[in-house]
């Protein structure tokens, strides 16, 4: 990628997530009374089990805990995974911002359809395969997120796989939007 002399500015408004607004990108991981509990009778009915999402993977699943510091609300990278769904769950109930674009066949997401959502920390989110996303932005330093993904995707992010600020592996496609589009993208409330 060549250095960009002057970047064009773009803002993406941060929205309140709803299951309907998030449907193109994935599923909310939280209590959903519309999903009937399974007929499990142990514990005298004290535990109600609802299958709210189905995780899919063609690789070894791992669940790293990522502790995150606040960073400027600037979208530079977006990535997607071809062989698995991916989930983010805030541990400790801290809020985070998720940025998503629908899966596509292009080299990069449709930048005019990128959306940002403020999750309040009471539920997580699992993306569909191929959903473009950035790693969540946190509002509280040292927020720990449980991330469910494949080992291959995590390994694709290590320094040895990064070329010109992008990463590529069998299950990872991470693009530098600033370099490719010449955009300075701010997330705004």
Tens of pLDDT, residue by residue, the chain (189 residues): 445 557 899 999 999 999 999 999 999 998 888 889 999 888 888 998 888 888 888 888 999 999 999 999 999 999 999 999 999 999 999 999 999 999 999 999 999 999 999 999 999 999 999 999 999 999 999 999 999 998 888 887 877 778 888 998 888 999 999 999 999 999 999
Q: Report if residue 149 sits inside a domain.
A: yes
Q: What is the pLDDT of residue 103?
A: 96
Q: What is the pLDDT of residue 64?
A: 94
* CB distance 171 to 150 below 8 Å: yes
Question: How far is CA 6 from its chain centroid?
Answer: 29
> Residue holding tokens 């606040």?
70
Q: Report if residue 160 sits inside a domain.
A: yes
CATH of the domain at 170: 2.60.120.480
Question: Which tokens go with 5?
Answer: 């002399």
Nearest of 125, 137, 134 to residue 167 by alpha carbon: 134
Q: What is the pLDDT of residue 76?
A: 97
Q: Report if residue 103 sits inside a domain.
A: yes
Q: Report if residue 3 sits inside a domain.
A: no
Distance CA 167, CA 148 (A): 19
* CB distance 137 to 165 below 8 Å: no
Q: What is the pLDDT of residue 158?
A: 79
Nearest of 109, 94, 105, 83 to residue 172 by alpha carbon: 83
Nearest of 82, 90, 174 to residue 140 by alpha carbon: 90
Q: What is the pLDDT of residue 3?
A: 52
Total structural domains within the chain = 1
Q: Report if residue 118 sits inside a domain.
A: yes
Domain range enclosing 133: 8-188
Q: Report if residue 182 sits inside a domain.
A: yes
Q: Report if residue 106 sits inside a domain.
A: yes
Q: Report if residue 1 sits inside a domain.
A: no
Phi, psi of 19 (to 5 degrees): -55, -35
* CB distance 27 to 53 below 8 Å: yes
């Amino acid at each position: 990628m060549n250095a960009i002399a002057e970047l064009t500015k773009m803002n993406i408004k941060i929205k309140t997530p709803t299951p309907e607004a998030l449907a193109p990108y994935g599923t909310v991981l939280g209590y959903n009374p519309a999903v009937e509990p399974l007929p499990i009778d142990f514990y005298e009915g004290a535990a109600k089990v609802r299958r709210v999402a189905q995780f899919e993977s063609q690789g070894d699943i791992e669940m790293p805990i990522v502790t995150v510091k606040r960073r400027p609300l600037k979208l530079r990278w977006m990535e997607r995974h071809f062989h698995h769904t991916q989930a983010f769950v805030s541990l400790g109930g801290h809020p985070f911002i998720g940025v998503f674009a629908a899966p596509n066949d292009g080299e990069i997401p449709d930048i005019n359809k990128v959306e940002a959502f403020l999750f309040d920390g009471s539920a997580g989110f699992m993306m569909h395969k191929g959903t473009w996303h950035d790693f969540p932005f946190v509002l509280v330093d040292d927020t720990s997120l449980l991330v469910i993904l494949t080992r291959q995707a995590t390994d694709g992010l290590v320094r040895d796989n990064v070329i010109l600020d992008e990463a590529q592996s069998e299950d990872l496609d991470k693009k530098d939007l600033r370099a490719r589009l010449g955009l300075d993208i701010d997330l705004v409330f």
